[in-house]
Structure 1
Amino acid sequence: MTTASPRRSDVALAEALVPTVLAAGAAVMEIYRRDFAVETKGDASPVTEADKLAEAIILADLARLAPEIPVVAEESCAAGVIPDVADAFFLVDPVDGTREFIQRNGDFTVNVALVRGGVPVVGLVLAPARSRLFLGVVGEGAAMLTIEDGRVIGRVAIEAVQAADGSPRIIASRSHRTPETDAFIAGHPGASIVAAGSSLKFCLMAAGEADLYPRLGPTMQWDTAAGDAVLRAAGGMVTDMDGRPLSYGPNGAAGTAAYANPWFLARGADKA
């Protein structure tokens, strides 16, 4: 009897999770289309019933598909449920871009990632209001899937591209621009700016629509892991500001701060 390679197992897991994120996305869109209440969490960030419902759907499916792998999920962590993790674990952000969700501008996503050895190796990022699902398995490539009526009707491979000399397309947050980000942009005269919200920024880079994404401000690992995996699978990379690949897993801090990211820079394909 042969054992499946990690990459083959990762591909199978990614495909098995497609219905999961589509179901979570459908629940999110049902709430998006009607009135909903907005609460404020202890860290002053907003949360809605969409975050909670989508997370419940994802957690139930992960418990069925991979019960041996612990799950670090944003809303569970906010409620104090932070599991111990080992080499492999899931990171879940049921609605990344809650501010975009509240503003109803469409730039919000449903995110599931598998981390192994500190590296995000599988990522699914669903943009339900845009009917797009981005899927990446590191070492196997990335794809953009078109969704209609809750099912996949198209799939195309995507690949990050090299930045043009002197005129990179810099993608910047709609809701979280900082003075440091503005200074980074000013250091690239001739650059064009692509505005987007949530983990869609990683996916636009993976699809070759932007070259650099500086995040010089606070983020959490569940915000970035799925998009990071898609970008890496497409040939890009995310590093800290010292050039080291962004690493995932508890950092030794207490509570949710254990999953805080440093500032980072996402890049498209490196020059050969």
Structure 2
Amino acid sequence: MGKIIAITNQKGGVGKTTTALNLSASLALANEDILVIDSDPQGNLTSGFGIKKEDMKAGLYEVYSGKASIEDAVLQTIIPNLYIIATSMDLFAAEIELLETQERENLLKLLLKPLKEKFRYIFIDCPPSFGLLTLNALVAAESVIVPVQCEYFAMEGLSILIKLLWRIRGNFNETLDIEGILLTMYNRHLALSRQIADDVRRVFKSKVYDTVIPRNVVLAESPSHGKPAVLYAPNSSGAQGYIALAKEILNENNLLF
């Protein structure tokens, strides 16, 4: 049975979508069957795979609103065994409509049940805010990957998020766990980057991935070409960082890369 992992941080610009894009691609290139869900109405993950609205038979909004089944929304990406449930700006409406829905925090969990057997991992890319879309993702997920930018205020934002996750665990999802904390946008030449990385490791210890994602222009550039960095420039330091992360995750779960 597959594992559902939300990629979340209420702080914007920390590398959530970049992580969803490149980690899912790296695992798929390692011959794992992967599904990634774009739960951010901005749709950056969708466009990062080169998918346009006209390419979508249905998106996440149509699934939430009952206009399409979740199976109808699954779309193959440019990587053979990597699939996406894409989204568009219509998803903004889902947050309002969910307010009037019974079991509104459990809807995504129920919708994903038919797909869990089909994929090794299901990743949910969350919006940079806490609302019903993020709550649905955290209730559906078994664990979370938390990207943390190696810059000022990182520890403060991380502490707030951890308190929020434990509240979700206490009220909605008692099995929710931290899959790992991922240090992103790391610059080894900057003392601040090194200090933030050391502080996060000191506080959260084994929950922090060994892999660190460097600040790399390719990671920002590749989505404009509709490709993850691991396809666009596989030898770049950013792409190599996500390939290393995929290996680390597979090793932790006793799977061969």
Check whether TM > 0.5.
no
Query: Which of the pair is proportionally richer in strand?
Result: 1
TM-score, normalised to structure 1, is 0.25
Please state which structure has a larger fraction of its residues in helix: 2
